[in-house]
């Protein structure tokens, strides 16, 4: 086994083995009817996100990835999710999720909980899913897909426009390529070693999902190369305003960062 290279990019070319580099076009996302002007890089990033959503990934097929996104949306209408969200402990509510796909129950449970009540996930909950057959890398890719869907849908909601139709799944088989240089570094799943922030390392078991995150991060906020640049942003908000909003949202969502 090659020795871990802590300086290698988490999203290095070819690291994932997915077919994201051969994406088929999907209907371009546009915001022409939005009540406010939208920068051109945002619909471009969202279109790319929808292309990746439809394509076969590292551990899930294109059809399964689109189904994961559909389940993430369905969580908002799921009676069990609402009951758990209102309960003192999510384990107090029993029942079945209002599933809209043929995905395994373990995947549906993970998707609905991540989409509806992520602040109360626990390692014991994760280990239960693992014992029922949800692999750690499949879980990481699932997290990436849900995060993409929630991010783009939240953008639409903030603009006051309808969420975009989910893309048509594309053919292809998952590569099931697992990075060699991951291990136990204090997370629930294997991650890359190194001194980069845990936000970036969290998905490193599936490097393709890191790349997905980075493109959306670049459009919605800043890429890693600009995190410590506090000069002009070239955006409607200056950096102090952006960080004030980010801090307030983090506090409201009880983000430990």
Pair (178, 235) in one structural domain: no
pLDDT in tens, 58-99: 999 999 999 999 999 999 999 999 999 999 999 899 999 999
pLDDT in tens, 114-159: 999 998 999 999 999 999 999 999 999 999 999 999 999 999 999 9
- Percent of residues, the chain, with pLDDT higher than 90: 72
Domain count, the chain: 2
Q: Say if 3 falls within a structural domain.
A: no
Q: Supply the mean pLDDT for the chain.
A: 88
> Is there a single domain that holds both residue 127 and residue 73?
yes
- Rounded Cα distance between 70 and 74, Å, is 6
119 and 106, same structural domain? yes
Flag whether 141 is in a domain. Answer: yes
Under DSSP, the state recorded for 234 is S
Q: Is residue 121 part of a domain?
A: yes
Under 8 Å between Cβ of 224 and 214: yes
pLDDT at residue 40 tops 50: yes
Within-domain flag for 142:
yes
79 inside domain: yes
Q: Are residues 234 and 247 in the same domain?
A: yes
Residue 18 CB: number of other CB atoms within 10 A? 27
- 3-state SS string over 46-76? HHHHHHHHHCCCCCCCHHHHHHHHHHHHHHH
Q: Is residue 15 part of a domain?
A: no
| pLDDT for res 1 | 32
What is the per-residue pLDDT for 257? 63
Task: Tell me: do 228 and 161 sit in the same domain.
Answer: no
pLDDT-derived band at 236 (thresholds 50, 70, 90) equals confident
Asked if residue 198 has pLDDT above 80, the reply is yes
Please compute the mean of the pLDDT values over residues 206-228 and round it to a whole number.
89
Domain that holds residue 94: 20-220
| Distance, CA of 122 to CA of 106 (rounded, Å) | 15
Kindly provide the residue ranges of all beta strands, DSSP E only, lying in the chain, ordered along the sequence: none
Residues 254, 156, single domain; the answer is no
In a domain, 4, yes or no: no
Q: Residue with structure tokens 């373990």?
A: 106
Q: Are residues 232 and 207 in the same domain?
A: no
Structure tokens at 180: 């060699």
Q: Specify whether 186 is located in the same domain as 110.
A: yes
CA distance 33 to 70: 24
Q: Between 198 and 33, whose confidence is greater?
A: 33
Q: How far is CA 170 from the centre of its chain?
A: 19
* Co-location of 116 and 238 in the same domain: no
- Report whether pLDDT(20) > 50: no
- Co-location of 228 and 203 in the same domain: no
Which band of pLDDT confidence, cut at 50, 70 and 90, is reported for residue 234?
confident
Residues 191, 178, single domain; the answer is yes
Separation CA 15–CA 206 (nearest Å)? 8
Of 217, 219, 225, nearest in space to 41 by CA: 219
Instruction: Examine the domain organization and report whether 155 and 239 are in the same domain.
Output: no
pTM to 2 decimals? 0.88
SS3 45: helix
115 three-class SS: helix
């Amino acid at each position: 086994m090659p020795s871990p290279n802590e300086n290698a990019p988490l999203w290095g070319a070819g690291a994932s083995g997915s077919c994201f580099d051969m994406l088929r076009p999907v209907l371009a996302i546009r915001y022409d009817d939005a009540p406010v002007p939208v920068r051109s890089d945002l619909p471009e990033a969202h279109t790319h996100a929808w292309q990746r959503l439809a394509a076969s990934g590292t551990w899930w097929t294109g059809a399964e990835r689109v189904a994961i996104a559909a389940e993430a949306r369905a969580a908002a209408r799921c009676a069990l999710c609402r009951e758990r969200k209102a309960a003192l402990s999510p384990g107090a509510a029993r029942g079945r999720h209002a599933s809209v796909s043929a995905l395994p129950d373990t995947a549906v449970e993970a998707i609905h909980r991540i989409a509806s009540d992520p602040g109360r996930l626990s390692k014991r909950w994760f280990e239960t899913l693992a014992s029922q057959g949800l692999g750690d890398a499949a879980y990481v890719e699932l997290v990436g897909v849900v995060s993409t869907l929630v991010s783009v849908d939240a953008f639409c909601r903030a603009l006051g426009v309808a969420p975009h139709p989910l893309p048509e799944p594309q053919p292809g088989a998952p590569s099931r390529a697992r990075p060699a240089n991951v291990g136990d570094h204090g997370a629930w799943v294997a991650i890359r070693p190194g001194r980069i922030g845990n936000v970036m390392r969290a998905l490193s078991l599936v490097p393709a999902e890191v790349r997905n995150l980075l493109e959306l991060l670049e459009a919605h906020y800043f890429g890693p190369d600009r995190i410590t640049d506090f000069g002009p942003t070239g955006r409607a908000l200056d950096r102090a305003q952006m960080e004030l909003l980010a801090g307030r949202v983090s506090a409201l969502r009880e983000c430990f960062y």
